[in-house]
Amino acid sequence: MPSRGSQLAILQICGFVILQNGRGFVVPLQKFRRIKLKALIEEPVSAPVSEQAEPEPTPSFDSTISRERIRLAVALFYFCQGLAFASWASRIPDIKAALNLSDAQLGTLLFALPLGQLLTMPLSGRLVTQYGSHQVLRIAAPLYALVLTFLGLASAGWQLGLVLLAFGVVGNLCNIAVNTQGVAAEQLYNRSIMTSFHGAWSIAGFMGALIGLLMINLHVGTYVHFWIILAAVLINTLINHKYLVTHVVTEQRKTSFFAKPDGVLVQLGIIGFCSMATEGAMFDWSGVYFKDIVKAPSSLVVVGYASFMIMMAAGRFVGDWAIRRIGRRTLLQVSGCLIFTGMGISVLFPTVSTASLGFMLVGLGVACVVPSIYSAAGRHPNISPGVALAMVSSVSYLGFLIGPPLIGYIAELGSLRYSYAVIGLFGLMITALISLTQVVRNGN
């Protein structure tokens, strides 16, 4: 383990850009306040009492409700959020054709969604901290699906852009609230269950795509399709909102998003950035890679994306078990290596079979990274879960913004194979950050 001085030197080299009040500036990481890290990531059951941080606010819930019922309710809110997003994604080609948009126009308009998410990070964290994630989620979840229906009404490009901006704003409220609920439910179990919640989101992605395909084949319009999704989300909210975890938020844990950035959360955000940049590259470019580099037949172009998604979902459902078996730190180190190895295989051996294998490894690699850092951020001893999650998400989501365009720029200068090789280096960065810093411990 490197000394404190070497840790600070490493972090100083890895200076990065964060957003504050709409402006970007570089912050030298050695200036960040360092806190005792051991109790932040350790599994609660194994941390010695003498080494634990000050007690976190205890989540409160009706004692007559079982933990299993609470876990199911939280998982269903994750599922519904994933279902709404996947439903939108499944109808993008139809909306593009209906509005007669070019590829460049569509790409520009799609940027409005992550922009809305990023701009409202401070507001989301503050609302969740002030009113509680259960209160925010029971309003934001149906509102998210309601905004989805307006996407089906857009009749011009500028209208689509405005609604996508609103979709990103409300989606971010849901994201921070539902992940805060996931952290709270995890505290009730006193063990890792976060990756299974994100697995529910991944399964919803498959379901949303299948429903979208069914609606297209039945010639159901986009607006009607989205109203069906809204009805499902409303039913879930009415049934399950009473089973969400409520929180006791103490004054000491109320922290402004615009306070001096916390060193631990910054490091977690960088790890999330590397993972989300990889996910963005797979979401947006895997089909192009199989078509242009692998030279797969048209019927097999989707195989790469499907391989990635299936293994990412599977990895999330076994992730909690893996964390209990080998520890969070070791799992994240292995995850980074899997991303690097998978990208390497797909770049060096661009055939259908080998590239599919590589994409499967990448899917396994990214599966547990974001759930793990969200779980860690939500257990910060000095910052409320909502604000901590917003801080980490604000850095992580830059990966979604920067990753896909970076792929395109590198491909324009050289080849898409070079682009994926660069993305593979993000896997090494994850492993290096975990190994060279103490932001994550196994807890055993």
Condensed to tens digits (0 to 9), the pLDDT of residues 331-355 reads: 999 999 999 999 999 999 999 999 9
Rounded-to-integer distance, Cα 18 and Cα 31, Å: 14
Q: Please, what is the end-to-end C-alpha distance for the chain in angstroms? A: 16
Helix (H, G, I), strand (E, B) or coil at 250: coil
Q: Residue 402: what residue type?
A: I
Helices (H), 42-120: 67-90, 92-99, 103-110, 112-119
> Model confidence at 247, in pLDDT bands (50, 70, 90)?
low
Helix crossing, 157-189 with 121-131: angle to 10°? 40
Task: Give residues with Cβ within 8 angstroms of 131, minimum separation 6.
Answer: none
Nearest to 359 by CA among 286, 412, 411, 293: 286
Q: Give the whole-angstrom CA distance, residue 315 versus residue 325.
A: 14
Domain 71-436 has CATH 1.10.4160.10: no
Poorest-pLDDT segment among 30-39, 60-69, 222-231: 30-39
259 by Cβ neighbours in 10 Å (0-12 / 13-18 / 19+) ranks as: exposed
pLDDT of 257-303, one tens digit each? 455 567 788 889 999 999 999 988 887 788 888 888 999 887 787 78
Q: Is the pLDDT of residue 54 over 60?
A: no
Euclidean distance between CA atoms 60 and 50, whole angstroms: 25
In the block, residue with structure tokens 């609920």: 181
- pLDDT at site 220: 93
Kindly state the average pLDDT of the residues 376-388: 80
Please give the model's pTM, rounded to 2 decimal places. 0.74
The Cα 171–Cα 87 span in angstroms is: 14
pLDDT band for position 51 (50/70/90)?
very low
Which of 118-122, 307-311, 397-401 reaches the highest mean pLDDT? 307-311
Residue 163 banded pLDDT, cuts 50, 70, 90: very high
Q: Taking the CB of residue 62, how many other CB atoms lie within 10 A of it?
A: 12
Count other C-beta atoms under 10 Å from residue 25's C-beta.
9
Percent of the chain with pLDDT over 90: 35
Q: Is the pLDDT of residue 251 over 50?
A: no
132: left (phi over 0), alpha (psi -120 to 50) or beta: left
Q: What is the pLDDT, as a whole number, of residue 361?
A: 96
Tokens for 190, please give them: 């006193």
The continuous run of DSSP H or E covering 159 comes out as: helix 157-189
Q: Are 423 and 143 a contacting pair, CB within 8 Å?
A: no
Confidence of residue 83 (pLDDT cuts 50, 70, 90): very high
* Buried b or exposed e, range 138-158, using 16+ CB within 10 angstroms: bbbbbbbbbbbbbbbebeebe
The confidence score (pLDDT) of residue 395 equals: 85
Cβ proximity of 327 and 444 under 8 Å:
yes
DSSP 244: S
Mean pLDDT of 70-74: 93
DSSP symbols for 94-112: HHHHHHT--HHHHHHHHTH
432 SS3 class: helix
Q: What is the DSSP letter of 57?
A: P
Q: Tell me the CB-side half-sphere exposure of residue 352, using CA atoms within 13 A.
A: 11
Residues with Cβ within 8 Å of 22's Cβ and at least 6 positions away in sequence, in order, are 119
Q: What is the DSSP letter of 246?
A: B
Query: How much is the average pLDDT of 102-113?
Result: 80
Q: Residue 261 in 3-state DSSP?
A: coil
Bridge partners for 19 per DSSP = 24
Closest CA to 336 of 358, 368, 310: 368
The per-residue pLDDT for range 15-47, each reduced to its tens digit, is 333 333 333 333 443 333 333 333 344 443 333
